[in-house]
Amino acid sequence: MTDEELVGFTRQGDSEALDFLITKYKPLVRIKVKSYFLIGADKEDIIQEGMIGLFKAVRDFSDVHQASFKVFAELCITRQIITAIKTATRQKHIPLNSYVSLDKPVGDEDQASTLMDLLQTDASEDPANFIVHREQFLDMESRINELLSPFEQKVLALYIDGCSYQEISEQLKRHVKSIDNALQRIKRKLEQQLTAN
């Protein structure tokens, strides 16, 4: 029986035909996986992606394209692996994965103050403390403005307002990657400033 006939049987619900195709093409998946690397993943994770590609090949194969199932399966396996690698290496989740904790100690390790301590205010504070905190806030804002370029200041302001990368990109008429790079620079500059103080 040809692979193409087996694919036809799998579409009719024949699980043995599907098992046969998966067993037959698993070595091809393993060969394809050898030339790829995914940061933070095992080879088994990439093999799993290749197997998903094989399953998609069985699901989507059509005789109309005049290509053999093997050629089509190879293409689907490769595309699935490459898509998984591109997705994993995309940097759209970097802000979530590289956040600065509000519980991170600020200044000397002997001091027990954190960013949260600096941000918390008590509504019943006396006016003198309020003025001092306000001056400290304005001083911090001034230092941030000195550290950041005008473009970075705009990006940070929009980001703090809750805009997505895409929304910031559209408002500032810059590429999304430019926004991501600016936010990474801002994070580095602010971290350096916090550790320097």
Residue 120 has pLDDT above 70, yes or no: no
Question: pLDDT of 67-113, one tens digit each?
Answer: 888 888 999 999 998 888 888 777 665 666 566 666 667 666 566 67
Residue 95, number of CB atoms within 10 A of its CB: 14
- β-bridge mates for residue 2, sequence order: none
Q: Which helix (H) or strand (E) holds 167?
A: helix 165-172
Residue 125, number of CB atoms within 10 A of its CB: 12
Residue 123 has pLDDT above 60, yes or no: no
Residue 166: both structure tokens together: 């895409």
Q: How many CA atoms lie within 13 A of 128 on its CB side?
A: 0
Residue 133 has pLDDT above 90, yes or no: no
User: Are the C-beta atoms of 168 and 159 separated by less than 8 Å?
Assistant: yes
Domains of the chain: 3-89 (1.10.1740.10), 94-196 (1.10.10)
- β-bridge mates for residue 55, sequence order: none
Residue 154, number of CB atoms within 10 A of its CB: 16
pLDDT at 139: 80
User: Are the C-beta atoms of 156 and 185 separated by less than 8 Å?
Assistant: no
Going by pLDDT thresholds of 50, 70 and 90, the confidence category of residue 163 is confident
Going by pLDDT thresholds of 50, 70 and 90, the confidence category of residue 52 is very high
d(CA 54, CA 31): 13
Residue 124 has pLDDT above 70, yes or no: no
pLDDT at 192: 79
Sequence-distant (≥ 6) Cβ neighbours of residue 84 within 8 angstroms: 38, 46, 49
User: Are the C-beta atoms of 172 and 154 separated by less than 8 Å?
Assistant: yes
Residue 36: both structure tokens together: 């790829």
Estimate the share of the chain in helix, then strand, then coil, as percent rounded to the nearest 5.
Answer: 70, 0, 30
- β-bridge mates for residue 62, sequence order: none
- Angle formed by the axes of helices 176-196 and 150-160, to 10°? 90
